[in-house]
Structure 1
Amino acid sequence: MKKGDIIWGILLASLLALFLIPSTRDPILIASEAHPYIGGFIKFAILATMGDILGKRIASGEYQLSVQVIMRAIVWGIIGCMVTLVFPVFMGGAGAAQAGGLLPFAGISFVQAFCGSSIMNLTFAPAMNTFHRVLDMWIEASANKESVNLRKIISQIDWVNFVTFNWLKVGIFFWIPVHTIVFLLPENLRVIVAAFCSIALGIILSFASKKSSSSPEIANNEGV
């Protein structure tokens, strides 16, 4: 275990403690309710970036800290704002569809959560993943002093791997079950739990990257 691993672990434990100790958790949740987009930005900017950093550490053996990390944290923060908005949209929409007879088993929370999670990860998530991938490649190209334009970035994406692995495997087998559980939690805890789950995703993707070194696209896939 390297010094960086110890520092990363201490930081994660400290963040977990903030949400487990009532004296710190309650003010954070109150502030997040008062300023939901700011709260979503900060949670994902910190936690999802930690997942990225750890994933790259597992894949490469070294921690990679640079200005790019800050730029990626900003992108994750923007995604945190998106998540803050779409969680109630899809969870509430699933409930409304059940009440209107468009989805089955109205009034059953688990079914509502599963339907909301499934619809979100099969519709919104692919668009968000693509947005994230394009910006990630943009950041990489800028750091390498390469010319950057949208057409070039889109043409460089390995769409077969991106769709089959990210949209389908990760979306269906990881995020749909995870978000089903998240949607069963109290509303004020959903975004923060999803942000913590993004750390687990970073670890999963790092091992997938190791097993599929011939497919670099996998190493840079994300989720909601």
Structure 2
Amino acid sequence: MKKGDFLWIFLLLIWVAILVIPSSREVFILSTNAHPYIGGFIKFAILASMGDLLGLRIKKGEWIIPKGFIFRAIIWGIIGMMVTLVFTVFMGGAAAAQASNKLPFKGSQLAQAFFGSAIMNLTFGPMMMAFHRFTDLYIDVKYEKKGEKVTIHELVDKNDWHTLVEFSWLKTCPFFWIPAHTIVFLLPSEYRVLVSAFLSIALGLLLAIAKKGGVKNEV
């Protein structure tokens, strides 16, 4: 193991310790409830970025800080804020649909979690993935062109649509995110965004493995 491996594991253990130690867990919950969007931003900016770094570590065999790393972390933070909102919207919407008999199994928490996850990952999920892909691509092209103007037309042409649709939308959405978020939605609400951010680390691992197997793009 390299020095960077120990540092990455140490940072992960800090997050685990925050949740395990009662006093820090209480502060974490109170802070998250008081400032949900700030909390969502911080969780995703740190943990999802750690997932990106882990993916590069596995793919390249060494720790690499990608160009525009801070901007990428900010994008993850914005996604964390979006997730903070849509978790409430889709879980509440699933419950309302069940209560009005538009969805079955009224009163079932498991069914509500599944419906909320499925609807979210079949509607919001693909758009969020496209947003993330194009913002990352913008950062890449901006550094390649060294400050020159980057157009949307250029980004659309450069994007690997086959991988975005065939892998990210048609594989990770139904086979990873829907079951994963079903489990997340069964957790107490104060932990959902955090656990979802942790899942981005697992996804970073899966993406790195997929890339080694021939998949070129990322979520």
- TM-score surpassing 0.5? yes
**What is the correspondence of 1:84-95 to structure 2 with a 5 Å cutoff?**
84-95=84-95
1:114 maps to: 114
Residue 211 (structure 1) aligned to one of 210, 213, 217 = 213
Higher mean C-alpha displacement, 140-149 vs 159-168: 140-149
Query: Which letter does structure 1 place at the counterpart of 2:103?
Result: L
The Cα of 1:174 is off from its aligned counterpart by 0.5
Give the Cα–Cα distance (whole angstroms) in 2 for the partners of residues 151 and 16 of structure 1. Answer: 43
Match of 2:170 in 1: 168
- Are 2:36 and 1:36 aligned? yes
Identify the residue that residue 154 of structure 2 maps to in structure 1.
152
TM-score of the aligned structures, taking structure 1 as reference length: 0.94
Superposition deviation, residue 145 in structure 1: 2.4
Q: Tell me if 1:16 matches 2:16.
A: yes
Distance 2:66 2:184 in 1: 32
User: What amino acid does structure 2 have at the position aligned with 1:77?
Assistant: G
Q: What residue is the counterpart of 2:2 in the other structure? A: 2
Q: 2:117 touches 2:178 (CA, 8 Å); kept in 1?
A: yes
What are structure 1's unaligned runs of at least 5 residues? none
Over aligned residues, Cα RMSD in angstroms? 1.0
Alignment-derived partner of residue 138 in structure 1: 138
Normalising by structure 2, report the TM-score.
0.96
The match for 2:81 is: 81
* Structure 1 residue runs of 4 or more that deviate by more than 6 Å after TM superposition: none
Deviation of 1:156 after TM superposition, in Å, equals 1.2
Question: What is the deviation of 1:25?
Answer: 1.1
Q: How many aligned residue pairs are there?
A: 217
Q: For the residues of structure 2 that align with 1:145 and 1:16, how far apart are their CA atoms?
A: 40
Q: Distance in 2 between matches of 1:22 and 1:145?
A: 49
Residue 55 of structure 1 is matched in structure 2 by: 55
Unaligned 5+ segments in structure 2 are none
Please say if residues 67 and 140 of structure 2, whose CA atoms lie closer than 8 Å, have aligned partners that are also in contact: no
1:177 is aligned to 2:190:
no
